Amino acid sequence: MKKGQFELASGGTLFLDEIGEMPLNLQPKLLRAIQEREITRLGATKSVKIDVRIVSATNANLPAMISEGKFREDLFYRPKHRASRHPTAKRAQKRRSCLSQSAF
């Protein structure tokens, strides 16, 4: 059987971009992979152990999505996470431009 993304990333890091767009029916599967550190391949009957660090990002307001029932609260709080906000690329570019002009 062909290896999936979790197996390919085993021993390393898997980046999940826009996790807020993940369908609600797939979120329990991701949570199981995080908690149990194992996955079941599509069509397989046996689980496969994985050792992967997961990094995710989203522009969505996950606490609001939790309140609306669109994102699982346990998936938000279970993994060790640190929320950080970064300026948009356009805003960061303006900031760099102002800093470079003031330096001269």
How would DSSP label each residue in 50-99?
---EEEEE-SS-HHHHHHTTSS-HHHHHSS---------HHHHHHHHHHH
**pLDDT reported for residue 97:** 55
- In this prediction, the residues of the chain whose per-residue pLDDT falls under 50 are 99, 103-104
Longest dimension (CA), the chain: 65
Report the alpha-carbon distance of residue 34 to residue 54 in Å, rounded. 8
* pLDDT score, position 88: 63
Provide the pLDDT for residue 42: 86
Output the pLDDT for position 77: 83
Element at 48 (helix H, strand E): strand 47-49
Residue 100 to residues 86, 87, 95, 97: CA-CA distances in angstroms? 20, 18, 9, 5
